A and B are shown apart, each in its own frame.
Chain A
Amino acid sequence: MTTLRWLVFGIAAFAMNFPILVTLSTSFKSARELSTNPGLWVQAPTLDNYLAVFQVTDRLNIFLYLFNSLSVALIGTVLAVALALPAAYAIARGRLGERTLLPFIVNLRAVPLIIFAIPLYMMFQWLALLDTRLGLGLILSIVNLPLALVILVNAIRDLPGELDEAALMDGASRTQILFRVIAPVCRPAIVTSLIFGFITAWNEFLFGLMLTTSKAVPITVGASFFFAASGGGVQWGVASAVMVVGALPPVLLGLIMYRQISGSMTAGAVKG
């Protein structure tokens, strides 16, 4: 039985990670090997593709794409948490907007984002925010808002009310309580929403595609530029290397996040 379980695990892990494995293997193939060996195994591994990726040309600049992704993900994440934390406190403790604001923002997570993309495009044109990192970051913070809010509301609700009351007795205002008492205690939840937000924002594609053209292109969109055949067709090795580089930051962060999840798994098991 255990053997069967391992077999199933192996097949599932292989199938689900198959595109990643293929891309990784292709990124180490030379141009010559690519034309003769489409298989998974690399016969003569080479780093040429990675060297080629980091060669900046007029048309393709991976450093710019990576920098753009980093900046928009940071703006989108930090802003989302900065907006969500006070609101979460007002919702959890003041019971403000529990039946209006909270469901509305939470529903945003489930709505097709394209609904807002077109008017935002036109609005950004008026505000000269098209193709800017700030503009894309602002929108990504909307994408991140629902999740950050839910995480923080739940975290604050789990805190004992005595915490607030004691500070109130000492004459602290709610705002002071939020930043001096609640925020420090909620640090794990804040970090979690930052990490999830960063990964979501880094991986976002639709708004990057619509709202940027050259200066603020994020890596998810930039990677597709490498697939636009120029002259000699798609350079598959180089394109693969781009995808590996573009996928690496969220994957690494995800492994950190994974630990947090297993931590909350055990916590949940205790509670359950």
Chain B
Amino acid sequence: MMTGGGLSAAGHVDIRHGHATWAPGAANPAGLAMFKTCQMQIGSMTKAQQRPLVQEFRLLATPVVVFLLVFLGFPAIVNLIYSVSEVSFETLRQPELSGFKNFAAVWSDGAFWQASWFSFRFGLLTAVLECALGLFLAIFLSPLIERRSWLMAILMLPLMVAPALVGLMYRLVLHEFVGPVPYYLWTYFGASLSFLGPGSAFWTLVVVETLQWTPFALLLFYMAYQAIPSEIAEASAMDGARSHHRLWYIELPLMLPTIVVALLIRFIDGFRVFDNVYVLTGSGPGGSTASLSIYIYEAFFKQGAIGKAVAASVILFVVSFAVLYGLNFIASRRKGANR
């Protein structure tokens, strides 16, 4: 979420940069592509020698597997059981099987589809805007940043602040009496806009999200841009290529894998958005800004509709993992084809 997502952002960058960033099929930040393979360390040993080694490796991986089984596996099973049960806060320990009623309830709930549509549209729009802006800034500002890397620190600052706090900050920024934006708009343009009203709330949220996460795209693109070998620029200059030709025919194609990855990450984070939207608009006005995450949260905590909330989260669970594994599959196929 975004969170989670937050600063994990820069982490990807770091990893990414351990490898040739611009090369097609290089390790990608979300790990959606396959990692480079490493040589077998134990290839030269005999089978008998290997066995205790494998056992020891198993032992080393055990804690994380057990931890995940307890804190994700068990809840996932609970989720599945409750999704096909009649359950309320009073009957948590005795769920009664009720078939697919909960799924039917979700499926026929207009609010569920509205939230899905919000999440999809929000993710897509913010991803495209952030990447377009980030790409422009990364290339246009690179001559400045190359010499003064602290400029990047200033641009990266929004990534360090919790999205929930940024959302709260915009409550102040957009407030009709104490907020500077309505104040300046009124003073200089005589305009008074409603930023969180029915027609505008969605767009306000898009701007809020875009302004906070454009630096993420900017950082990725800047480093991909910097990783393009200077020989390529020199060679193309020798061949008489103009700078915009070089950008269009050489540099952007080289950056394409990074661009795809950035679009994907930002879409995912936009799709599952919760924090800033929740603190800024709740789900209002009239449920128009409920993302899927907020829909599930409200079904559970505000309406006490456990069955519905759990069924919706099972749907989201299945769809997310299906899509992610699909992407992994495509990425590994493409990598195989490139070889």
Q: Given contacts A26-B178, A84-B64, A87-B61, are A38 and B183 in contact (CB under 8 A)? A: yes
User: Which residue of chain A is the closest to B166 with respect to CB atoms?
Assistant: A19
User: Which residue of chain A is the closest to B207 with respect to CB atoms?
Assistant: A15
Q: Is the CB of A205 within 8 A of B163?
A: yes
Q: Is the CB of B141 within 8 A of A157?
A: no
Q: Is the CB of A123 within 8 A of B78?
A: yes
Identify the interface centre among A38, A203, A264: most chain B CB within 10 Å of its CB.
Answer: A203
CB contacts (< 8 Å) of B169 on chain A: these are: 19-20, 22-23, 243
Q: How far is the CA of A98 from the CA of B3 in the complex (A)?
A: 26
Q: Given contacts A157-B36, A227-B168, are A123 and B140 in contact (CB under 8 A)? A: no
Q: Given contacts A89-B60, A115-B320, are A251 and B160 in contact (CB under 8 A)? A: yes
Residues 167-192 of B contacting A (Cβ, < 8 Å):
168-173, 175, 177-180, 182-184
Q: B179: which of A38, A122, A161 is its contact (CB, 8 Å)?
A: A38
CB contacts (< 8 Å) of A117 on chain B: these are: 296-297, 313
CB contacts (< 8 Å) of B20 on chain A: these are: 268, 271-272
Q: Is the CB of B14 within 8 A of A251?
A: no
Q: Given contacts A18-B173, A123-B78, are A250 and B320 in contact (CB under 8 A)? A: no
Q: Is the CB of B229 within 8 A of A272?
A: yes
Q: How far is the CA of A265 from the CA of B184 in the complex (A)?
A: 40
Residues 252-272 of A contacting B (Cβ, < 8 Å):
253-255, 257-258, 260-262, 264-265, 267-269, 271-272
Residues 190-226 of B contacting A (Cβ, < 8 Å):
211-212, 214-215, 219, 223, 226
> Size range of the interface on B?
35 or more
Interface string of B3-36 (1 = CB under 8 A from A): 1111110111111011111100001001110011
- B276 CB to closest chain A CB (Å) equals 9
Q: How far is the CA of A200 from the CA of B219 in the complex (A)?
A: 18
Q: Is A13 part of the binding interface, using a Cβ–Cβ cutoff of 8 Å? A: yes
User: Which residue of chain A is the closest to B158 with respect to CB atoms?
Assistant: A16
Q: Is B41 part of the binding interface, using a Cβ–Cβ cutoff of 8 Å? A: yes
Q: Is the CB of A193 within 8 A of B161?
A: no
Q: Is the CB of A199 within 8 A of B7?
A: yes
Q: How far is the CA of A264 from the CA of B170 in the complex (A)?
A: 34
* Residue tally, chain A, CB below 8 Å to B: 122
Q: Given contacts A38-B178, A112-B320, A268-B18, are A119 and B78 in contact (CB under 8 A)? A: yes
Q: How far is the CA of A39 from the CA of B187 in the complex (A)?
A: 10
Q: Is B72 part of the binding interface, using a Cβ–Cβ cutoff of 8 Å? A: yes
User: Which residue of chain B is the closest to A272 with respect to CB atoms?
Assistant: B227
Q: Is A56 part of the binding interface, using a Cβ–Cβ cutoff of 8 Å? A: no
Q: Is B76 part of the binding interface, using a Cβ–Cβ cutoff of 8 Å? A: yes
User: Which residue of chain B is the closest to A271 with respect to CB atoms?
Assistant: B20
- A129 CB to closest chain B CB (Å) equals 10
Q: Is B248 part of the binding interface, using a Cβ–Cβ cutoff of 8 Å? A: no
CB contacts (< 8 Å) of A227 on chain B: these are: 168, 171, 279
Q: Given contacts A16-B215, A143-B4, A268-B223, are A39 and B173 in contact (CB under 8 A)? A: no
Identify the interface centre among A121, A250, A261: most chain B CB within 10 Å of its CB.
Answer: A261
Q: Is the CB of B161 within 8 A of A110?
A: no
Residues 134-181 of A contacting B (Cβ, < 8 Å):
138-139, 141-143, 145-147, 149-151, 153-155, 157-158, 161, 164-165, 173-175, 178
**Pairs across A and B, CB under 8 Å, 14 listed:** A2-B144, A16-B157, A35-B177, A93-B57, A113-B272, A138-B71, A158-B18, A174-B60, A196-B14, A204-B6, A220-B164, A224-B279, A243-B165, A268-B21
8 tightest Cβ-Cβ pairs between the two chains A and B = A94-B57, A119-B75, A106-B31, A254-B160, A203-B162, A112-B272, A268-B17, A19-B169
